[in-house]
């Protein structure tokens, strides 16, 4: 699932390329991707609207339009937005073909289920192999009180996300396992499986450790590592270990920096550690950690 760094990079691309363009038409072969209103109403509501700007809230993208409309995109497991030029050649499984060879021709970019035609002759597409992604249209301002956003925890990349706020939020679930708590969007927004593994590896904390058992120095290290690792991934264009691509269809680079995530059986890269990366299930999700320097407190 695209997490905070990946969604941030999508928003960068949207703001760099789509500002002041007008939506001229909308196509879909999967009307269920539009959760509210129904697709025909959605299409009529957004045609003719100018794209003003986009922002990230948690793992959500908010695209603000003229006439006080806002489109919310959530990528869920496998969705990503793409910007370019396609031709619709047939009505088969992959009807849209890019005009020129390049990153948009990547096989992970062919699962297009939603297409916006834009006033500059190009298009904004949503590719989603598993079709779990969602799109919702709001009157501007209503999105903040919606079930999608109203209960989100603090954003770890905001300027006011200080250690005190982090600690207060984390301690709301003091009996929770730290891996699950970090991924709880009502505690901290934007973190998922990849970055929780990487943060805990860096902080030397076992993923099943209860929050209340984590000493102050380790809790501070989790806080510091969260901000540093997310920042680094944003700068590297996000993580494309799976199917994430930016709006140009290109991979990010953070998958080249993994210390724990999906490295089961490998020697721990921490200098002088000598342990191995293990994988366990925590709350139904895989957790990767070093069995030597991430010990569970007794």
Please list the active-site residues.
2-3, 59, 285
Buried b (16+ CB within 10 A) or exposed e, 123-158: bbbbbbbebebbbbbbeeeebeeeebbeebbbbbbe
Report, in angstroms and rounded to the nearest whole number, the Rg of the chain calculated over CA atoms.
20
CA–CA dist 182, 180 (Å, integer):
6
CA–CA dist 286, 207 (Å, integer):
10
Q: Alpha carbon 43 to chain centroid distance?
A: 25
Neighbours of 192 (CB within 10 A): 18
Peptide bond into 37 cis (omega under 30): yes
Closest CA to 7 of 79, 65, 111, 115: 79
CB 245 within 8 A of CB 112: no
């Amino acid at each position: 699932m695209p997490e905070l760094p990946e969604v941030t990079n999508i928003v960068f691309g949207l703001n760099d390329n789509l500002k002041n363009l007008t939506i001229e038409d909308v196509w879909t072969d999967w009307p269920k991707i539009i959760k509210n209103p129904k697709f025909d109403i959605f299409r009529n509501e957004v045609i003719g609207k100018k794209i003003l700007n986009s922002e990230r809230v948690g793992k959500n993208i908010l695209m603000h339009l003229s006439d006080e409309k806002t489109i919310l995109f959530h990528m869920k497991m496998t969705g990503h937005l793409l910007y370019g030029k396609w031709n619709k050649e047939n009505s088969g499984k992959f009807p849209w073909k890019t005009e020129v060879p390049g990153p948009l021709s990547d096989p992970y970019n062919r699962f297009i289920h939603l297409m916006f035609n834009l006033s500059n002759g190009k298009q904004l597409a949503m590719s989603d192999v598993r079709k779990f992604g969602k799109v919702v249209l709001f009157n501007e301002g209503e999105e903040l009180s919606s079930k999608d956003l109203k209960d989100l925890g603090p954003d770890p990349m905001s300027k006011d996300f200080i250690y005190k706020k982090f600690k207060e939020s984390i301690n709301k679930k003091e009996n929770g396992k730290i891996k699950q708590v970090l991924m709880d969007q009502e505690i901290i927004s934007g973190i998922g499986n990849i970055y929780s593994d990487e943060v805990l590896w860096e902080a030397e904390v076992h993923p099943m450790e209860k929050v209340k058992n984590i000493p102050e120095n380790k809790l501070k290290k989790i806080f510091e590592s969260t901000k540093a690792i997310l920042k680094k991934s944003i700068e590297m264009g996000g993580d494309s270990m799976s199917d994430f691509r930016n709006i140009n269809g290109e991979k990010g680079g953070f998958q080249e920096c993994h210390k724990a995530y999906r490295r089961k059986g490998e020697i721990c890269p921490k200098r002088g550690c000598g342990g191995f990366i293990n994988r366990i299930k925590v709350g139904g999700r895989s957790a990767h950690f070093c069995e030597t320097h991430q010990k569970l407190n007794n």
